[in-house]
Amino acid sequence: MDIQEIVRKVVEELSKEKKVIKEYVEPIKEDSIRFPEKQIKGVKEPHNAASIDRAQSITPARIGIGRTGTRMQTTSYLQFLIDHAAAQDAILKDVSDEFLQKIELKKLETKAKDMKTYLMDLDSGRKLSDESVAWLKENGDKNKDVQIIVCDGLSSSSIEANIEDLLPALMQGLQLKNISTAKPIFIKRGRVWVQDEVAAIINCSLVISLIGERPGLNTDESLSAYMIYRPNEKSVEADRTVISNIHKEGLAPVEAGAHLSELIEQMLRAECTGISFARKSNINL
């Protein structure tokens, strides 16, 4: 029997098997597999169930999930894979143009032409591309109190999950306080320090960056807000104030918007951010 005949018979057998599977196995529906949003106790007959309940109530860590022999239970392992895949997607995928159009954000870019460059060359995400610099010089709102920047950072998922609620709340809070605000912009593959260059170009008093945090296995939707007053070439990390953990299971986006507008009002009055603001305000951020 020659090779072509062997291949033909194999294909015939595989076709028969697929036909049998199609006829006798009901297809799995998309919603037929469900994973609990809250942790479940996988420990069978625990000595102290109350301690597991308490631990699970104060942390999203995988505590009390049980085991089968020396391994995770299947449900826990599949949930781990789902969370890991979500974290990878958050980093590697882009915020969609449709979403940016929906919330009316102009898209600028940094010198990081792709995600590999962004991850390997930190400075590439701290400087705007030449085209974006030219656009901002020509079209940016100059001499305002506040400039809001939205950056995908390390989690595009956090932008699409939070900005629709956070940005209007922040804008409304600033408007009610009579704080002049430039039209918000989106910067693709931006890092925190890109805000310094933006502030220098448009001459704003304070710049706030809403940027996607590094995703973990507990959430891929966490956002941070970095604020700095009048940044310059001597600015360092200690000059910035950051509010982190903004997401539905942390600091809710709408609540964060209101809180940030209050902070910004205080920072503009104090004319500082970061450690200097904490000392002057006698608060612990």
105 close to 174: Cβ distance less than 8 angstroms: no
Percent of the chain with pLDDT over 70: 80
Work out the angle between the directed axes of helices 74-92 and 156-176 (0-180°, nearest 10): 60
Half-sphere exposure of 141 (CA within 13 A, CB side): 16
Closest-CA residue to 213 (of 202, 203, 221, 205): 221
User: Tens digits of per-residue pLDDT, 156-213?
Assistant: 889 999 999 999 999 999 999 999 999 999 999 999 999 999 999 999 999 999 998 8
- Known binding site: residues? 192, 213
Residue-level pLDDT at 89? 67
And the tokens for 141?
Answer: 């709102």
Above 60 in pLDDT, residue 232?
Answer: yes
Length of the chain: 285
And the tokens for 42?
Answer: 């996988």
- Known binding site for adenosylcob(III)alamin: residues? 192, 213
Average pLDDT, the chain: 84
The residues spanned by each domain of the chain are 97-281
Closest-CA residue to 220 (of 281, 129, 153): 153
pTM value > 0.85? no
87 close to 81: Cβ distance less than 8 angstroms: no
DSSP H helices, 226-273, are 253-270
User: Tens digits of per-residue pLDDT, 56-101?
Assistant: 777 767 777 778 788 877 777 777 777 777 766 667 677 899 999 9
| CATH number at 97-281 | 3.40.50.11240
